Structure 1
């Protein structure tokens, strides 16, 4: 009888160990959870000086961790956690390439923030267009083995343009299979390669409704910015483009004398383009929770007018503003969510308390 009990106990222990092991079995995905709301005064220096005002602008983040079965099950019971496949997060790129792209997105966001803030403040600024930064290369591209993620394309067939549209238009009307020569910079070294154009899929653009020719890369502009006074930004381990709005506010307010923050703890999110428009981002509900944990009372959220088609593809079928507003209403009632389309909308709210009009469906 004792021997039989020992066998049963051993089998039970084995099954328990297998169950525990299964819970921590890795999955091909990531768990997204609320990150931090970091004070940008720690990251930004103007003329070598940090912001010493009592007000605070925070950059909010989402924390990514490799998923396992236990973490995945947690997402089913914790509304502030979510699971995303590795493909959705990294686009199929390696961790190293993904990190490299996120770092460039951050540097691009800072460059845009400087341009918008200095133009708004009417302070001297000079921009130098370096070329096209390569974010990814498609499997069907003839350049897939010669052009790498992180390269900056400076010329095509000897032609350099002052924005990506120039490069795109040069290639657009060429026939499929035309050989072009590409000049690029990789890790500070100049290189040159040749390959054939491919036909790219049709798009919703009225300019190219039936598709166009191209290299088969995803790209963005690589711009160097020089300012007077000099701005130094060290974002640490934070990557991606979603801090653009908050960097712009930090730089502008610090540049003009810290008159906007008015001792408030202010968080927010949103991309920033060079014309001052704020773009939507992912994980805004988690960023609201990060802002709450940091004690913020104001949260800026990108606003786009909701349409039936747009809501079909939005996260949780809500726009950024709707999701942020609803999350705060339920979990952070002391956090006021402010919709913004542009940098000027955020400045106007901080200066006057005026909020843009929104439409709901």
Structure 2
């Protein structure tokens, strides 16, 4: 009986020895697939490239045929797998962030919608600034307020969504978000309130109640910001696709200004840069500037505009580490960028 038992063990051992490489190969393949495809709760951020604005912007239906280019730069984000984490650890100018750090409290869908809103806002502000600086007639018209968040205790939770536009309250319309906030805060706590809004291009209406906000004032419990549109005799069209965020505002402004004015500020140069553009023409700081410097350098840019402050310091450091001779230029306003291009060949 013992001999039979030993014989079975030997047979099993031989079978196992015969197929161990096959089993090891299957196991390794499964682990490799998991490393490449299974998402982890992180994002990897890296240089995302530089893009000629002439390819995404049309002014008065005319082709921009002047030599040189204005380029906006991007940071690429990918949901991390183990393989991406290894790549990020081994690659300079590549960072790892948590999902919460990247998208905040927003869902992935809402995060994309918010970034699309910021892109639209930066485009409108860029048009307004460029035409104003060029002496053109232009106005920025109030359309309502964008919904940026809805508090958990709001009676409009699940009704109003991120990037919906509130156009009125109790059939009252307003000329700014400040007016809307003042109107709502004067309503009685717990009173019924009806909100007029657009969502996905459709006009809608919803009824809820006035609640007490965290600041002690009365309201409906939404985070909001002005939704505006530009009116001008000049026709300026963007087609940026899925690219989002506000950081191309400065470069959009420069490109539009160059096309609607009588100047040629590019002078055949490849000019890159980053920074938000505000209503008063100031340039605001952005994230990921080290990666944007790398993107610009790879594109062959000779000038890179960086917002004053920490952005400028980080851009100079990144340029030195990457080893580029690209000129890093500090700007606080779009006028400073125009003056630099005008006075430097």
Using structure 2 for the length normalisation, give the TM-score: 0.88
Q: Rg larger in 1 or in 2?
A: 2
1:21 aligns with 2:33: yes
Using structure 1 for the length normalisation, give the TM-score: 0.84
Q: Which residue of 1 aligns with 2:249?
A: 244
Q: Alignment partner for residue 219 of structure 1, among 220, 224, 244?
A: 224
Superposed counterparts of 1:131-280, under 5 Å: 131-172=144-185, 176-202=189-215, 212-280=217-285
User: How much has 1:270 moved relative to structure 2?
Assistant: 1.1
Superposed counterparts of 1:1-361, under 5 Å: 3=15, 5-24=17-36, 25-172=38-185, 176-202=189-215, 212-304=217-309, 319-353=310-344
Contact 2:69–2:269 at 8 Å: present in 1 too? yes
Cα distance in 1 for residues equivalent to 2:203 and 2:33: 50
Give the 3 Å change call, closer, same or farther, for CA 137–155 of structure 1 in structure 2.
same
User: How much has 1:92 moved relative to structure 2?
Assistant: 4.2
Cα distance in 2 for residues equivalent to 1:90 and 1:254: 36
- List per-residue Cα deviations over 1:269-313 (Å, max 9, x = no partner): 111111111112221111111101110111111123xxxxxxxxx
Cα distance in 2 for residues equivalent to 1:75 and 1:200: 42
Contact 1:179–1:195 at 8 Å: present in 2 too? yes
- List per-residue Cα deviations over 1:138-194 (Å, max 9, x = no partner): 323221122122211111233322222222333346665443321112233222222
Q: Which residue of 2 aligns with 1:357?
A: none
Could you tell me which runs of 5 or more consecutive residues in structure 2 were left unpaired when the two chains were aligned: 1-12
Cα distance in 2 for residues equivalent to 1:332 and 1:180: 60
Cα distance in 1 for residues equivalent to 2:328 and 2:191: 51
CA RMSD of aligned residues (A): 2.3
User: How much has 1:267 moved relative to structure 2?
Assistant: 0.6
Give the 3 Å change call, closer, same or farther, for CA 302–215 of structure 1 in structure 2.
farther
